Amino acid sequence: MAARTMTVATLLAALIALAGCGGGDGGRTGGSRSDEGGGERDTGRAATPRLLFIGLDSADWRLLDPLMAEGRLPHLKAFRARAASGRMQSFYPLEKSPLLWASICTGVEPGVHGVTDFVRGSAQKPVTGSAWHAPALWDILGAAGRSTFVSGMWTTFPARPIDGIMVSDYLPYGREREKPLAGLVTPDSLAAAVVACRVDPAGLTAEQLARFLPAGADVADAERRWPQQVQKLRDIWAADLGYLEVARRLRQARDFDFYLFYLRGPDMISHGFYHYLAIADADWHGDADEHAMFREVVQRYYDWTDEAVGEVLSWFPPDHPTVIASDHGFYGPRAEGKGTVEHSEWGIFMVRSPLYEAGASFGHLKLLDICPTVLALLDLPPARDMTGAVLATGTTARGRDRLAHIEEHRVESYLALRPAAGDAAPEVDDKVEEEIRRQLRSLGYIK
């Protein structure tokens, strides 16, 4: 506890240093809330910067660029025109999204943050939130008196108490339970509201599902012929729709400083359907009808993802500082086969902020640069034990000075802000755990 208090003190000192000198634009308070009048926000006055972060698991320019060139993905395309964008170089092991996202959220390597896998032990128990040994963005923000909304992020069950709302990654599971899992969301008082947002895969209608299949496709017939594939589509989309509904419903709860909306579906849909897209008619050795039926699912899922992104963006002012990023890209089937080897090293990163040039292309950044860059966008100092850099290309003149200033004022470490354990002991439900293992197996993530 003493270490924690000291870290908070160090953080506050760093914030004062950040606010007090250099590069400031006069209006910013640099994170100190003491002059904000009892926490009440006065938009006419200086405010601490806020940030929207949209995480799209496995989004890849190789897929997005051609769709944008066709005039599709209008929201992502319009966003990109107002953002600095580039490629995001992930690191190995690429196949482990929980590990990659935990590195994005903590700025440290897996050996330090502790989230290294999907499951542990021969019993393949799903790795839970207690694995995090390093503070995530929401913990650092919380120590600075700033709030976070985060939903659906990997390895966040049981949800832990944060300054804000955390909706864990277990929302899609345990639908048949009478009572929601303890730890589904914090604060716990939101459990009923969150569960009410859940979408039942079986309730999705043929009319709704038709948008992912070729025009005029007979969805009921497709479901009779390829039940597993259509079920996969139902499960994946229902999970994303549930999280979108949660975000829709809870966004008014509070004016969050950091709002993290994450979609896992783009990755899962790619695992299930990318091979139909990647393999040409002539090289397809299976059922030609099946190939024709599912060939467009991935692209059409990105059309839906783009709509979801457009909706989330519409909840914020048009110039609200925003990052859109993935954790890795998606290559498709390789000679080694399908499954996790299909991931690619290059994901996407876009940042819209007065600190970065609209429309600039910055080349690339590394995955571990994301956390320091996000902290800088929030006017918070990164720590010296974060190995990444604050993105320093594609900046405006003002951004260059400000970001360099923040980069120079790193704090020593945030590791003492180790995440607090929740009050509720994680509830173990064997059925839910088996449901998760089944899903991880179907993606090829575990054996």
- By the 8 A CB rule, do 250 and 193 touch? yes
Distance between CA atoms of 211 and 217, rounded to whole angstroms? 9
Residues 6+ apart with CB under 8 A from 286: none
Nearer to Zn ion, 60 or 267 (CB): 267
Nearer to Zn ion, 267 or 357 (CB): 267
Q: How far is the CB of 340 from Zn ion (least distance, A)?
A: 6
| CA distances in angstroms from 186 to 42, 56, 149, 166, 192, listed in the order given | 27, 23, 10, 5, 12
Nearer to Zn ion, 100 or 199 (CB): 100
Map residues 403-422 to x or -, x wherever contact with Zn ion holds by CB under 5 A.
--------------------
- By the 8 A CB rule, do 78 and 349 touch? no
Q: How far is the CB of 58 from Zn ion (least distance, A)?
A: 5
Q: How far is the CB of 345 from Zn ion (least distance, A)?
A: 13
| CA distances in angstroms from 26 to 19, 46, 407, 432, listed in the order given | 9, 9, 19, 52
Nearer to Zn ion, 214 or 339 (CB): 339
Nearer to Zn ion, 87 or 264 (CB): 264
Choices 83-91, 104-112, 259-267, 272-280 (CB under 5 A): range interacting with Zn ion: 259-267
Nearer to Zn ion, 267 or 379 (CB): 267
| Residue 418, SS3 per DSSP | coil
H/E run at residue 41 = none
Residue 435 binds Zn ion, judged by CB under 5 A: no
Q: How far is the CB of 64 from Zn ion (least distance, A)?
A: 16
List the one residue out of 363, 297, 267, 330 whose CA is nearest residue 63. 330
Choices 14-22, 119-127, 265-273, 360-368 (CB under 5 A): range interacting with Zn ion: 265-273
Retrieve residue 295's tokens.
């060939």
Strands 51-56 and 125-126: unpaired
Q: Which residue is nearest to Zn ion (CB)?
A: 267
Write the single-letter amino acid at 22: G
Choices 113-121, 124-132, 227-235, 263-271 (CB under 5 A): range interacting with Zn ion: 263-271
Residue 327 binds Zn ion, judged by CB under 5 A: no
Q: How far is the CB of 343 from Zn ion (least distance, A)?
A: 6
Nearer to Zn ion, 56 or 377 (CB): 56
Q: How far is CA 423 from the centre of its chain?
A: 25
Write the single-letter amino acid at 383: A
Helices (DSSP H) in 120-190: which residue ranges?
137-143
- By the 8 A CB rule, do 134 and 113 touch? yes
Nearer to Zn ion, 344 or 396 (CB): 344
Distance between CA atoms of 347 and 366, rounded to whole angstroms? 10
Choices 138-146, 160-168, 260-268, 356-364 (CB under 5 A): range interacting with Zn ion: 260-268
Find out whether the peptide bond into 201 is cis, omega within 30 degrees of 0. no
Choices 81-89, 182-190, 262-270, 381-389 (CB under 5 A): range interacting with Zn ion: 262-270
Q: How far is the CB of 297 from Zn ion (least distance, A)?
A: 15
List the one residue out of 278, 386, 323 whose CA is nearest residue 51. 323
Q: How far is the CB of 69 from Zn ion (least distance, A)?
A: 25
| Residue 380, SS3 per DSSP | coil
Nearer to Zn ion, 267 or 306 (CB): 267
Residue 267 binds Zn ion, judged by CB under 5 A: yes
Q: How far is the CB of 282 from Zn ion (least distance, A)?
A: 27
Q: How far is the CB of 143 from Zn ion (least distance, A)?
A: 32
Phi/psi region, residue 229 (left: phi>0; alpha: psi -120 to 50; beta: rest), is alpha
Instruction: Give the number of residues in contact with Zn ion, rule: CB under 5 A.
Output: 1
Q: How far is the CB of 434 from Zn ion (least distance, A)?
A: 21
Nearer to Zn ion, 101 or 258 (CB): 101
Contact residues for Zn ion, defined by CB under 5 A: 267
